[in-house]
Amino acid sequence: MKMYKNILIPIDGSEKALQAARHGANLAAKIGATVTLFNVLPVMPVDVRSLVINKINAQGEEILKKVSLELAGLDVPVETEMIMGHPAEAICKKAKAGRYDLIIMGSRGLSGVKGYLMGSVSIAVTTHATCPVLIVR
């Protein structure tokens, strides 16, 4: 029985997320696991959403495509998914509902100072996830 067979890797386009994806894919290749790259689009007010939804969807798809291509040579099954939501909450829900064995994510995403002041997504995920979380620094 494999200890980790399904690995969830949240990505947001940041360098730390890309490092986490590389690390996760290398681990998955060694242990025969599957990787899911997961991008969470930010929740926006309804009056603004219609103006920018196509652009944000395209950015999310581009992030998933770029990282998938980066991992293509590692001989690891890679799935992708993109949803709209609050990042930490969406990641924890996805991990639980999808019965993921491990979450691998970067220590800091695109939130920068805002993430530092408000509490980063990685801290929230490590606090609330129902499976182990590996933070890549």
CATH architecture of 6-136: 3-Layer(aba) Sandwich (3.40)
Does the pLDDT of residue 114 top 60, yes or no? no
Instruction: State the pairing for strand pair 133-136/78-84.
Output: unpaired
46 or 92: which leads in pLDDT: 92
Instruction: List the chain domain ranges.
Output: 6-136
Q: What is the mean pLDDT of residues 82-108?
A: 95
C-alpha closest to that of 12 among 2, 4, 20: 20
CA distance readout (Å), 87 to 33, 38, 57, 69:
24, 10, 15, 23
Look at residue 49 in the predicted model and tell me its pLDDT.
Answer: 74
> E strands along the chain, which residues?
6-10, 34-41, 78-84, 102-106, 133-136
User: With bands split at pLDDT 50, 70 and 90, how would you rate the model's confidence at 118?
Assistant: very low
For residue 111, the surrounding DSSP H or E stretch is none
